[in-house]
């Protein structure tokens, strides 16, 4: 019998062991004009996956998955139909019926990484979107802000953005703030610049803005400066993700740090465990972001 691999010790999975992970298929969403490694969020997830595979001598296959404006696959990579991979990590996309039916023919396990599905049949690694958005707005309220806007997302957004929208609304509701201000737009189709300017011109009483991610928040800062509003003296801005750009913008962005490298490592661990214990209960690992205070939020 093979010795157990080191990274399965202490696993929550129980049951009769099946097989080991020798070859992993990593499928990462790709957007028009932006290679996966250039994505400021997923590039670090990829680093974590590569590191875990190297440490555990797991072969790594890589493919991109083109997605539409709603993160739905528009083309299925051949890697999902071959017999080389023992399991797959799906990074950053919505796993629809096309993908599940193709991989289901092989009974090949899939772990979702910042990815979602209509079914509950996958192990998943996600960020704590709802609670962190709630904490972001609570933070602004503690700073004295009562007129707080949300920049980005729409009711039909990708699940992670809908969860952040929900956290924003809950924080206002629980603090008995009845006025909400939302710049609705699809962040895959439109930059934050024009929607946030329209929001501010329509509601000049706003003193703080929560961007659904750091790219949106940085664009928001630039838009405020363009129309003559100072950040944070006139309008405070907070983001989500803590990408590299957050510390390099002016003013440096206050945001929530998501440990994306750990997301990648954890996903490999889940796939190892799923292969060894295929009948175990499904697992969701939630990464809890931490507040990084910089220069873009001020007391009111």
The secondary structure of 22-51 as a DSSP string is -EEEEEEEEBTTB-GGGSTTHHHHHHHHHH
Q: What is the mean pLDDT of the chain?
A: 89
Question: Mean pLDDT over residues 6-24, rounded?
Answer: 60
- Indicate if the pLDDT at residue 105 is higher than 60: no
Residues with Cβ within 8 Å of 262's Cβ and at least 6 positions away in sequence, in order, are 48, 287
Question: Mean pLDDT over residues 53-58, rounded?
Answer: 96
Write out pLDDT tens, residues 24-54. 999 998 876 666 666 889 999 999 999 999 9
First to last CA, the chain: 65
Write out pLDDT tens, residues 285-294. 999 999 999 9
CB 7 within 8 A of CB 52: yes
- Indicate if the pLDDT at residue 8 is higher than 70: no
pLDDT value at residue 33: 62
pLDDT value at residue 35: 64
- Indicate if the pLDDT at residue 75 is higher than 90: no
Q: How far is the C-alpha of 65 from the C-alpha of 46, rounded, in Å?
A: 14
- Indicate if the pLDDT at residue 60 is higher than 80: yes
Query: Domain 129-257: which topology?
Result: Rossmann fold (3.40.50)
Question: Mean pLDDT over residues 101-123, rounded?
Answer: 81
The confidence band for 2, taking pLDDT boundaries of 50, 70 and 90, is: very low
pLDDT value at residue 9: 39
Q: How far is the C-alpha of 51 from the C-alpha of 234, rounded, in Å?
A: 43
Lookup: tokens for 165 = 């929208």
pLDDT value at residue 108: 84
Query: Which sequence spans correspond to the domains of the chain?
Result: 6-127+259-289, 129-257
More confident residue, 140 or 189: 140
Lookup: tokens for 251 = 């003013």
- Indicate if the pLDDT at residue 110 is higher than 60: yes
Write out pLDDT tens, residues 227-281. 999 999 999 999 999 999 999 999 999 999 999 999 999 999 999 999 999 999 9
Question: Mean pLDDT over residues 202-231, rounded?
Answer: 97
Q: How far is the C-alpha of 25 from the C-alpha of 27, rounded, in Å?
A: 6
CB 96 within 8 A of CB 41: no
Question: Mean pLDDT over residues 198-220, rounded?
Answer: 97
Lookup: tokens for 115 = 């990815």
Say which DSSP state 79 is in.
G
Q: What are phi and psi of 68, to 5 degrees?
A: -90, -170
Q: How far is the C-alpha of 65 from the C-alpha of 67, rounded, in Å?
A: 6
Question: Mean pLDDT over residues 78-102, rounded?
Answer: 83
Greatest Cα pair distance, the chain, in angstroms, is 70
Q: How far is the C-alpha of 51 from the C-alpha of 298, rounded, in Å?
A: 38
Considering 79-83, 98-102, 187-191, the range whose residues carry the highest mean pLDDT is: 187-191
- Indicate if the pLDDT at residue 11 is higher than 60: no
Closest by CA position to 268, among listed 113, 65, 63, 107? 113
Q: How far is CA 29 from CA 37, 115, 182, 297, 298, in A?
A: 10, 10, 27, 33, 36
Return the CATH architecture of domain 6-127+259-289: 3-Layer(aba) Sandwich (3.40)
CB 288 within 8 A of CB 258: no
pLDDT value at residue 172: 98
For 96-133, give the DSSP string. Answer: -HHHHHHHHTTT--EEEES-EESSS-SEEEEE-HHHHH
């Amino acid at each position: 019998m093979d010795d157990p691999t080191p990274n399965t010790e202490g696993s929550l999975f129980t049951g009769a062991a099946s097989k080991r992970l020798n070859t992993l298929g990593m499928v990462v969403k790709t957007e028009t004009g932006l290679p996966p490694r250039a994505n400021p969020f997923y590039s670090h997830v990829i680093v974590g996956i590569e590191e875990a595979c190297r440490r555990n001598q797991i072969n790594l296959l890589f493919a991109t998955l083109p997605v539409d404006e709603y993160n739905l696959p528009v083309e299925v990579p051949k890697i999902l139909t071959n017999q080389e991979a023992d399991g797959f990590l799906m990074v950053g996309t919505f796993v629809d019926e096309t993908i599940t039916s193709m991989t289901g023919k092989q009974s090949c396990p899939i772990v979702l990484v910042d990815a979602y599905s209509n079914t509950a049949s996958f192990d998943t690694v996600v960020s704590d979107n709802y609670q962190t958005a709630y904490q972001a707005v609570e933070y602004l309220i503690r700073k004295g802000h009562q007129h707080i806007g949300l920049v980005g997302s729409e009711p039909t957004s990708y699940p992670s953005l809908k969860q952040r929208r929900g956290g924003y609304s809950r924080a206002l509701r629980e603090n008995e703030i009845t006025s909400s201000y939302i710049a609705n737009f699809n962040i895959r189709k439109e930059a934050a610049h024009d929607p946030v300017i329209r929001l501010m011109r329509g509601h000049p009483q706003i003193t703080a803005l929560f961007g659904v991610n750091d790219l949106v928040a940085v664009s928001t800062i630039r838009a405020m400066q363009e129309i003559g509003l100072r950040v944070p003296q006139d309008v405070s801005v907070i983001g989500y993700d803590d990408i590299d750009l957050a510390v390099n913008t002016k003013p440096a962005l206050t945001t929530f740090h998501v440990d994306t490298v750990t997301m990648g490592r954890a996903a490999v661990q889940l796939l190892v465990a799923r292969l060894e214990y295929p009948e175990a209960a499904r697992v969701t690992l939630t990464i809890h972001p931490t507040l990084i205070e910089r220069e873009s939020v001020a007391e009111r």
